[in-house]
Amino acid sequence: MILTPERQTADQSSIGSKRQKYFVSRKEMVTIRCRTCGRMETFPVAELQGKRHVMRVECACAQTFEVALEFRQDYRKKTEIDASFRALSTPRARARQCVIADHSEGGLMLRITDEVPIKQNDRLIVCYRPDSDAPHEIERIISVRHHDRGNRIGGAFIDIHPQTQPAIPATNAVLH
């Protein structure tokens, strides 16, 4: 397979609808699979700068297709952290228990056992120790992105925590 940057601007291409999307892993490698013949090949993509690239792939089977590469800022880390959560208006004493099942710079996935009346975009305060030996619990506010009733809550941080988040560089100030 040959991987080259797509010259056409994204989304104007006639084959854009067939475009595959890949998230570049922490190792900055991406494994691309041809849907026609099933060949797979891994490419190093660390030298590609920026967040998103559209690349043209020419497969040995003569199929040509596009892939969009997204560089994840947000690597999720599996965790098992006891936590509590509550709505903004709920007193702390009535917080419910949960487990933080994964954690990233951008948000949290909470594992819950009770059905709770939550809907998308609700704001929750999550209280936990970021590390098992951390001296204090911290509170972060998330906005609910998805909710699997009685099972999971996925949320994105909407606060900026001074201890865990460095100042946002100017280049990242525009959200995509």
C-beta of 57: minimal distance to Zn ion in Å?
9
C-beta of 19: minimal distance to Zn ion in Å?
15
Of residues 33 and 123, the one with the C-beta less far from Zn ion:
33
CB 126 within 8 A of CB 75: no
Interface residues toward Zn ion, by CB under 5 A: 34, 36-37, 39, 59, 61, 63
C-beta of 11: minimal distance to Zn ion in Å?
24
Of residues 37 and 46, the one with the C-beta less far from Zn ion:
37
What's the half-sphere exposure (Cβ side, CA atoms, 13 Å) at 57?
30
C-beta of 2: minimal distance to Zn ion in Å?
11
Of residues 33 and 145, the one with the C-beta less far from Zn ion:
33
- Among residues 70, 124, 122, the alpha carbon closest in space to that of 100 is found at 124
The count of other CB atoms within 10 Å of the CB of residue 165 is 12
Cα–Cα distance between 107 and 155 in angstroms, integer? 6
The count of other CB atoms within 10 Å of the CB of residue 157 is 18
* The residue type at 98: C
Of residues 65 and 139, the one with the C-beta less far from Zn ion:
65
CB 118 within 8 A of CB 151: no
What's the half-sphere exposure (Cβ side, CA atoms, 13 Å) at 73?
11
Of residues 45 and 59, the one with the C-beta less far from Zn ion:
59
C-beta of 73: minimal distance to Zn ion in Å?
31
